[in-house]
Structure 1
Amino acid sequence: MQKYGRTFHLPISLGATSDDKILTSLEGLSGDDLIVTEKMDGENTTLHANGTHARSPDSRYHPSRDWVKAFAAGISPQLATGERIIGENLFARHSLAYDALPSYFLGFAWIVDGVFQSWDQTVARFAELGITPVPTLYRGPYVANLFEDIAASLDPKKQEGFVVRAAGPFPETEMSARLGKYVRQDHVQSDTHWMHAPMIANKLA
């Protein structure tokens, strides 16, 4: 199992806790072509040539993973060794309830041999595989107050936050500089972890 790396919080992220990593510089996110996508409230999941796994090392059975395992069964034979699709398994409700999802799996990264592929190549690959990408909130250059303005535009009752990345390709080893996230305040709404609570399925459109 190759675990997906950690995405650091932007300095303005309200949902960062004492256990989280914070970006100390925005230099890697100050380019002319940035992609900002909605951060979905699901389980980070990797699809690969041999199947699928969640980011968490906890691999115990959970019914919310049945759907994505069946979905991966149709994708995995099309993936080469070293090719990974990263996305959110949104079958089970966590803190936010979704009532019109286009799919229970929304992709946000395509990694080949340790390199994040460009966003345009990623979206094209998703189209080939029948994978729906996460919603795009912004594409363009970094401008003053960009992240603050996007954060202010979110509906905290319906959106968990956003993720920003460089639109071009970059090595996984540069994740801590080329990726950042903003998470809403108090994004965890329950003391009980979703895996230990009764499962409630989100709804498709």
Structure 2
Amino acid sequence: MKKYGRTFHLPTSPGATSDDKIMASLVGLMVDDLVVTEKMDGENTTIHSTGSHARSPDSRYHPSRDWLKAFAAGISPNLEDGERIIGENLYARHSVAYDALPSYFLGFGWIVDDEVQSWDRTMTRFQELGISAVPTLYRGPYRDDLFEGIARNLDLTKHEGYVVRTAGAFDENAMPECMGKYVRAGHVQADIHWMKAEVVPNKLAE
């Protein structure tokens, strides 16, 4: 089991706090093929060949993870030892309420032997495994006004932000250069942390 790395904030991300890491440069994202996806307000989760875990492999029990563990039990037998599926456990409502999710688990990464696989290969693998992906907001080349334009088009009452990555494969150690996130200002709007509050499930699409 391996902990999934941190996604650094874009320099323009208003939701970055003093505890967050910020990308030192955008050079790694100045490529001809970028993928921008919606940043979902859930719990980062890894599914591997022997089960699943939240961001920390030694996470304690929480009732919001029951559905995910049952879901992962159907995925894990189909994974090789070096494969990890990364996504968001969206069962419990956090700061953003969802009312039409395709699944309580939405994937955004496929790692094989410490290499983050290309977006196209990841989508193919998700189809094979029956995994729904996070929504894609943009696919195309980098341009100077791209990130600001995507941020302006977000509905900040419904969207936490977005994540940008190079569409090609890259080493997991290169995540700070090849991925970045934009998070809305004041994202956490509840007085009580979701893990200490009553579990309120998000809603699935009819």
TM-score scaled by structure 2? 0.98
Q: Secondary structure at the match of 2:157?
A: coil
| CA root-mean-square deviation | 0.8
Match of 2:100 in 1: 100
Please give the residue correspondences for 1:73-92 in structure 2 after superposition, counting only pairs within 5 Å: 73-92=73-92
Tell me the CA shift for residue 191 of structure 1. Answer: 3.0
Match of 2:191 in 1: 191
Match of 1:149 in 2: 149
Q: Name the CA distance, whole Å, in 1 between partners of 2:103 and 2:163.
A: 19
Tell me the CA shift for residue 61 of structure 1. Answer: 1.3
Q: Which stretch shifts more, 103-112 or 182-191?
A: 182-191
Tell me the CA shift for residue 56 of structure 1. Answer: 3.4
Mapped contact 2:37–2:137 kept (Cα < 8 A): yes
Instruction: Kindly provide the amino acid, as one letter, of the partner of residue 18 in structure 1.
Output: S
Tell me the CA shift for residue 58 of structure 1. Answer: 5.6
Mapped contact 2:47–2:53 kept (Cα < 8 A): yes
Q: Name the CA distance, whole Å, in 2 between partners of 1:4 and 1:97.
A: 25
CA-to-partner distance for each residue in 1:118-173, whole Å, 9 max, x for gaps?
00000000000000000000000001210000001000110000000000000001
Match of 1:177 in 2: 177
Tell me the CA shift for residue 24 of structure 1. Answer: 1.2
Please give the residue correspondences for 1:1-205 in structure 2 after superposition, counting only pairs within 5 Å: 1-56=1-56, 59-205=59-205
Q: Secondary structure at the match of 1:192?
A: coil
Q: Secondary structure at the match of 1:14?
A: coil
Structure 1 stretches of at least 4 aligned residues deviating more than 3 Å after TM superposition: none
Tell me the CA shift for residue 59 of structure 1. Answer: 1.7
Q: Secondary structure at the match of 1:163?
A: strand
TM-score scaled by structure 1? 0.98
- How has the CA–CA distance of structure 1 residues 14 and 147 changed in structure 2, closer, same or farther, with 3 Å as cutoff? same
Ranges in structure 1 where 5+ consecutive residues have no aligned partner: none
Q: Secondary structure at the match of 1:202?
A: coil
Q: Name the CA distance, whole Å, in 1 between partners of 2:164 and 2:202.
A: 25
Q: Name the CA distance, whole Å, in 2 between partners of 1:145 and 1:157.
A: 23
CA-to-partner distance for each residue in 1:45-96, whole Å, 9 max, x for gaps?
0000000000035622111100000000000000000100000000000001
Q: Secondary structure at the match of 2:61?
A: coil
CA-to-partner distance for each residue in 1:7-48, whole Å, 9 max, x for gaps?
000011010000000011000000000000000000000000
Instruction: Kindly provide the amino acid, as one letter, of the partner of residue 165 in structure 1.
Output: R
Q: Secondary structure at the match of 1:177?
A: helix
Q: Name the CA distance, whole Å, in 1 between partners of 2:58 and 2:82.
A: 23
Q: Secondary structure at the match of 2:37?
A: strand
